[in-house]
Structure 1
C-alpha cells in the first residue's frame, strides 16, 4: 500500500533534518569522525529508504524480524564495546572527547528507546520508521567493518605507549584511554571487534532483502 503524499513529504523533511542535524551535533560535541561515520551512514540510509520504503512500506513480517535481529546483535556488540572501552579508545585514536558517559547515554539509553519506537513504527508501516531501520542496517550494521580497520591506524595520542592514559581533551576529562594500535600492542584487536559481525550479518541481509522486494514490486 502506498503512503499518502503528505506523509511522504513530512517524513522526507524529518529524514533530511536528521541527516544534517545529527552529524552536526556529533561534530560540535565530539569531532569530525562522527560526521564521517554517522553522516555517511545517514546519507546512504536516506537513499536506500527513499527508493525502497518511503512510498511503499515493506510488510512488517519482512522487515521487522530483520530489524529486531540487527538491533539484538548491535546491543550485544555494545556490551563488548563498553567492556573494552570503545569511547575512550576512539578518543585516543582521533584526539576527540568521547567519554564513557556520553557513550552510554547514546548507545545504552537513548538508542534502545528509539529502537523500541521504531519497532512499533515498522509494525504500523510508518515511513519514518523505515528510515531509522535503514540507518541501523547501514550504520551499526554495515559500518561495523571499521572495527577491523581501527587497529591499523596510529593513535593521535601517544601511539607508542601501550598503557592506558587519561587527559583532558577539549575541556572534557577522558579517563583510561586504551591503545589498540597493532604496531604497539602486537595484537590485532580494537574495542568491540569480536562481536562487530553480529549486527553486520542481519543488516547486510536486510539491505539485500529491501532491494529485492522493491525490484519485485516494480515488476508486478
Structure 2
C-alpha cells in the first residue's frame, strides 16, 4: 500500500469516527449511529471498488449533484409538513443534548452538516481526487438512507401532512433512484479518460437578450419575495449582486466559452463554504438581527424557507447546469462571484457599523461574521479563471480579424 493511500484511509477513518462521536454527544445517539454506519459501509465500498482508478469518476458528478438537490428538496418538504419533528421519533435514543433548539437543532446536524460535506466532496470528485469517490459512496448511501427514512415517515404519519404526502413520497423516490444509479456506477466503474464536452457555440445577441429577460424576471420575483419577507436592507445587497452577476455574465461567459470542468469544482467549493456560513446565520439568528436594523420583521419560517432550503436547492441545481455549459449555470455562478466578493463582507463592514451608528455601543459580533469571508476564496479564483480565459479568447478573435 502506498503511503498516500494509507494516509487517505487514516483521514477517512478518524474523520468518520469524529463525526459519529459529535453526532452522538451533541445531538442524538441515533444520528451518530446513522453517520457511523454510512461511513463504515462507504469506506468498505471505496476500498473494494474505488481505490485503484479515478479515470471514470467524472461520469458520477451529475448524479452526485442531483442527489444533493433532491436531498434539499426533500428536507424542504419535511420542514413544510413538520415531518422533521417526526424524525426524532424514528432515531433510537433520540434525546438531544445540544444547546441549540428548535429549527437549528434539526437543520444543523441533519441538513447543513451533510450537505456541506457533500458539496466539499463534490469539489474533490470533480477535481478527480481519489478521496472524492469516498464522498460519492457516502453521499449515495446517505441518499438511500434518507429516502427510506422518508418512506417510514410517510407510512407512519400519513395523515399529518396529507396535502404534501405524495410530493414527499415522489421526492424520496427520486432521491432513491439517483442514489441507486450512483451506487451502481461506483460498483461497476467505467474505464476511460475524462469525457470531453464539445465547445458550445457562443450565444447570439438575440439569445443573450432573451436569457437576460428571463434572468431579470427571476430577479424580480426573488426581489419581491425577499422584500415582502425582510424589507429593503437585504434586498439591496442580494439584488445588487444579481445585477452585477448579470453584467458579468453578459460580458464574459455569455460570449466566450470557458471549460465547465474547470469552473464546477470552484463553484461547489464556494457553495460548501457558503452553506456553512448559512449554518452560522441559523445558529445566531441572522434574520432577527436584520429585523433589529431595518425595523421590518423577518419571520423565522420565511427565512428558513428562502435562505436555508429553497435558495440553496436552486444554487446547487445551477452546478448541474454549469456542468452542462448552460446559460443558467453561468449566470448563477456570476451572481455568486459578485455576491461572495462584494455582498458577504457586509457582515463585517456594513451591518455591524450600521448597528453601531443607530444603536450606539461598540463594534461587536454580527450574525454570520465569522464565516462570511471564506466563500470569497473560490469566488476570486473563479473570477480570475473566467477573466483570463475571456481575455485570451477575445485577443485570439482580434488577431484573426486583424
TM bracket (short chain)? 0.7 to 0.9
In 1, distance between residues paired with 2:357 and 2:298? 14
- Secondary structure of residue in 2 paired with 1:154: helix
Contact 1:87 1:98 (C-alpha < 8 Å) held by counterparts: yes
In 1, distance between residues paired with 2:327 and 2:377? 24
Question: C-alpha displacement at 1:188, in angstroms?
Answer: 2.4
In 2, distance between residues paired with 1:189 and 1:130? 34
Identify if the C-alpha distance between structure 1 residues 107 and 30 changes in structure 2 by more than 3 Å, giving closer, same or farther: closer
Aligned pairs for 1:198-213 within 5 A: 198-213=374-389
Q: Does 1:2 align with 2:210?
A: no
In 2, distance between residues paired with 1:128 and 1:99? 30
Contact 2:249 2:331 (C-alpha < 8 Å) held by counterparts: yes
Tell me which residue corresponds to 1:218.
Answer: 394
Identify if the C-alpha distance between structure 1 residues 73 and 141 changes in structure 2 by more than 3 Å, giving closer, same or farther: farther
Q: How many residues align?
A: 195
In 1, distance between residues paired with 2:242 and 2:312? 18
Question: C-alpha displacement at 1:22, in angstroms?
Answer: 2.1
In 2, distance between residues paired with 1:119 and 1:33? 28
Give the structure, 1 or 2, with the largest relative contact order (CA under 8 Å, sep 6 or more).
Answer: 1
Tell me which residue corresponds to 2:321.
Answer: 121
Tell me which protein shows more strand as a share of its residues: 1
Q: Which runs of 4+ in 1 moved over 4 A?
A: none
Compare 17-26 and 123-132 and name the one that shifted more: 17-26
- Secondary structure of residue in 2 paired with 1:34: helix
Q: Does 1:43 align with 2:243?
A: yes
Tell me which protein shows more helix as a share of its residues: 2
Contact 1:57 1:126 (C-alpha < 8 Å) held by counterparts: no
Tell me which residue corresponds to 1:152.
Answer: 353
Tell me which residue corresponds to 1:16.
Answer: 216
Contact 1:41 1:143 (C-alpha < 8 Å) held by counterparts: yes
| Structure 1 vs Structure 2 CA RMSD | 2.1
Contact 2:356 2:363 (C-alpha < 8 Å) held by counterparts: no
Contact 1:57 1:130 (C-alpha < 8 Å) held by counterparts: no
Tell me which residue corresponds to 1:100.
Answer: 300
Q: Which one of the candidate residues 47, 70, 78 is aligned to 2:278?
A: 78
In 1, distance between residues paired with 2:237 and 2:336? 12
Structure 2 residue runs of 5 or longer lacking an equivalent are 1-199, 397-402
Contact 2:271 2:316 (C-alpha < 8 Å) held by counterparts: no
Question: C-alpha displacement at 1:24, in angstroms?
Answer: 2.8
Question: C-alpha displacement at 1:32, in angstroms?
Answer: 1.2
In 2, distance between residues paired with 1:26 and 1:111? 11
In 1, distance between residues paired with 2:320 and 2:241? 23
